[in-house]
Structure 1
């Protein structure tokens, strides 16, 4: 019997487990190990709470987890409760699928001031991630700057702009919903160092901004190149630019909240002494290769908070080589340490934070294909039984998938009207809810 340990139970982890079941059939056991007592990673704590249709993919993951050949070990931290070397001794292969949960720094003066928040932290706050439940973002000012021109920046802007009523049907956590209800934010400035033709925003997310109850997008018509250039874009990007042109033509709105797009604007400093008081933006221009360069012209804008949506990094794990420059684990086509090491990585831990949730599926299958070449035969290792014994000896309270179902049931029962669930944001409460009645 082959035994495979998958570190991380987000999309990459589940797709890797699915691939292992389909590749090796009845001759494999897969154990998903997660430091949180709850599975699904980015789906639970990264996907916007008002995008419930995307979260429906967890039904597929649940089918995988329900297979008798798959086990879930939640509340287990690799590198603390068990080492990578110990996992190598217990399993034929160890696949790291921990994603990229850490924010990249802005890298400008003042980026360490209170009120500068990375998108992983801010999204984790309104999604109920235990690491960020005590964030308390400063929503007491009129203006917030959001740095980035991707879908995460749009999610942050949309969440800041919505009315409490517009969160009906979402699973935004109660503490965030109440904070947003009391928010004084009336202008959300979305800054991008390049122009409309270079955005990474998709039409669905952009289109939502045109249908908000109390907020409207504002775009400067001067930011656009000649309209003939739109024909050179791929269909999705052309739709996005068409939406932006429509926002520009509308010329704003009398709605009380404005989402103000500032293209060709790059942050060069965060202003303030004890907290964020403003941001300095430098105007940029594109060179022949499409790279943005500052032209020396700056503008200072008062704001109370800066949310940086410029990318993510994987978190290091002792015993695994790490590529500091790329912000992910050092690997060659998903192998860590070369053929025969038994160590692999998949998803964002392998590629960096690129692609969609679905991109991780072919990634997981490719890793398992390589694994089948490297490890044609089982090595008679203990697998999950050995891990369970080791964790028991160390008094680690591992959470099973049945335990997770009890947590899920408790979250569903405590949901406010119209919401699918109210997530626990405290680890001790999660562990308590996991216990059999």
Structure 2
């Protein structure tokens, strides 16, 4: 191939950025354009992780270094399926990689899930992360709140709900989020896990972070705190499981404090079966579960009701279908063979690939994303000589198309400008950053220099 390999990556979160990195490090000369519907890069790292998350700064720094590479171009505020179609991308690129992730909430599938006061975790996370498409206010009138789930998302939601608003002032939370959290009436947050402590998906660092909140008491309820044979084996062979269980055990053995402003409760072997209420959430009904010895659980037929006025469902993310791209609605993923997108007949769609959560489902940490991208990129590169030739491969042809359509796209230079602006806003308040929330304002700041 005499000309550079031109690749469009749709989605500028970790999955897309790592795919771009691997492509530009390969022996094949490659030019990568990273598209995102947001005016900013980083995907869920910017809009899906709690602002006080201990690892967020390191992740952003790593992604920034990759996006700073000359072979990678960021084009934000461009929505696939709205501003450009697959046929547009194929006209300008040899290959297209879909890395749009999973940002929707998985359906819990129990009665009452749609009641006012029942929220998907991603809705709340988008609010406190200042997502431009999220509401600017949040009702926190409930005193007793349930969080359903046993992963890090549930921990993030529970921690933010139980935290004092002023303790977040050293983060990048926007003013509207701080204002809403300051008015919160929450006193008790109850985290419910369907299985036992050895079967949770918490990671040790994120779990231990909860213990750094001086105004929040951690309460691990003994009912349901059980370890079966499979759990004991997991603790012997997996240091992460061992650390999680030990941390929870230590908390369970503590003497009650009783004088904190808020309490964060853990309930194990409790399966939510119904969110109660007529016009709004008024309670949660759970079934008591029991371990079967192999890590699975079964219902006992015994039920408990908890007095809660709000429920947050943190039971998993779900990807959205994309126009002109095959999609398996059952698994919430794009059908593929090693990242090669497959059509209804199981044949590879020439020049179309996928990576990240929309490829494998919303599981795994950042490290899994790198390996996933490597598989996809290796297969793309092995196909390079047989990829369909684009009609308009010249690098700036795509920019002309966007300009002709009146799309106010943002660039990497524009992000650096917005980044500096947010940091300057933070400096005025003695903080590292203050996030800009409004989409139009982000676009304006990002494009300001180009329009002068």
**Normalising by the residue count of structure 2, what TM-score does the alignment of the two structures yield?**
0.91
Summarize the alignment of residues 81-230 of structure 1 with structure 2, pairs less than 5 Å apart.
81-134=83-136, 136-225=137-226, 230=232
Classify 1:282/1:251 alpha carbon distance in 2 versus 1 (closer, same or farther; 3 Å): farther
Classify 1:138/1:251 alpha carbon distance in 2 versus 1 (closer, same or farther; 3 Å): farther
**CA–CA distance in structure 2, aligned partners of residues 280 and 227 of structure 1:** 25
Deviation at 1:280, TM superposition (A): 1.2
Q: Deviations over 1:8-35 (max 9, x none)?
A: 000001100000001145x211000000
1:196 touches 1:241 (CA, 8 Å); kept in 2? Answer: yes
Deviation at 1:230, TM superposition (A): 3.8
| SS of match in other structure, 1:283 | strand
Classify 1:238/1:2 alpha carbon distance in 2 versus 1 (closer, same or farther; 3 Å): same
Q: Deviations over 1:126-163 (max 9, x none)?
A: 111112243x3321121110000111111111111122
Between the two proteins, the alignment pairs up a number of residues equal to 435
1:100 touches 1:328 (CA, 8 Å); kept in 2? Answer: no
Of stretches 37-46 and 83-92 in structure 1, the one that deviates more from structure 2 is 83-92
Q: Which residue of 2 aligns with 1:403?
A: 414
Deviation at 1:110, TM superposition (A): 1.1
Summarize the alignment of residues 199-348 of structure 1 with structure 2, pairs less than 5 Å apart.
199-225=200-226, 230=232, 232-233=234-235, 234-254=238-258, 255-337=260-342, 338-339=347-348, 341-348=350-357
1:31 touches 1:73 (CA, 8 Å); kept in 2? Answer: yes
RMSD over equivalenced CA pairs, Å: 1.9
Deviation at 1:368, TM superposition (A): 1.0
Q: Which residue of 2 aligns with 1:389?
A: 400
1:312 touches 1:327 (CA, 8 Å); kept in 2? Answer: no
Q: Deviations over 1:280-308 (max 9, x none)?
A: 11111233543333222222222221111
2:234 touches 2:241 (CA, 8 Å); kept in 1? Answer: no
**CA–CA distance in structure 2, aligned partners of residues 88 and 205 of structure 1:** 42
**CA–CA distance in structure 2, aligned partners of residues 52 and 206 of structure 1:** 11
Q: Which residue of 2 aligns with 1:376?
A: 385
| Residue of structure 2 aligned with 1:15, choices 18, 23, 34 | 18
**CA–CA distance in structure 2, aligned partners of residues 225 and 156 of structure 1:** 24
1:23 touches 1:368 (CA, 8 Å); kept in 2? Answer: no
Classify 1:301/1:225 alpha carbon distance in 2 versus 1 (closer, same or farther; 3 Å): closer
Is 1:412–2:413 an aligned residue pair? no
**CA–CA distance in structure 2, aligned partners of residues 250 and 224 of structure 1:** 15
Q: Deviations over 1:293-333 (max 9, x none)?
A: 32222222222211111101111110011111111222222
2:150 touches 2:200 (CA, 8 Å); kept in 1? Answer: yes
Q: Which residue of 2 aligns with 1:4?
A: 7
Classify 1:90/1:266 alpha carbon distance in 2 versus 1 (closer, same or farther; 3 Å): same
Classify 1:340/1:210 alpha carbon distance in 2 versus 1 (closer, same or farther; 3 Å): closer
| Residue of structure 1 aligned with 2:363, choices 354, 359, 362 | 354
**CA–CA distance in structure 1, aligned partners of residues 223 and 67 of structure 2:** 52
Structure 1: segments with no counterpart, 5+ residues: none
Q: Deviations over 1:394-417 (max 9, x none)?
A: 111111111112221221122263
Q: Deviations over 1:92-126 (max 9, x none)?
A: 11001111011111111111112111111111111
Deviation at 1:419, TM superposition (A): 2.5
**CA–CA distance in structure 1, aligned partners of residues 227 and 21 of structure 2:** 47
Classify 1:183/1:248 alpha carbon distance in 2 versus 1 (closer, same or farther; 3 Å): same
- Report runs of 4+ in structure 1 exceeding 4 Å deviation: 226-229
| SS of match in other structure, 1:207 | helix
Classify 1:206/1:104 alpha carbon distance in 2 versus 1 (closer, same or farther; 3 Å): same
Q: Which residue of 2 aligns with 1:54?
A: 56
Structure 2: segments with no counterpart, 5+ residues: none
**CA–CA distance in structure 1, aligned partners of residues 325 and 36 of structure 2:** 16
Classify 1:225/1:294 alpha carbon distance in 2 versus 1 (closer, same or farther; 3 Å): closer
Deviation at 1:335, TM superposition (A): 1.0
**CA–CA distance in structure 1, aligned partners of residues 170 and 252 of structure 2:** 31
2:225 touches 2:268 (CA, 8 Å); kept in 1? Answer: no
Q: Which residue of 2 aligns with 1:80?
A: 82
Of stretches 278-287 and 59-68 in structure 1, the one that deviates more from structure 2 is 59-68
**Normalising by the residue count of structure 1, what TM-score does the alignment of the two structures yield?**
0.94
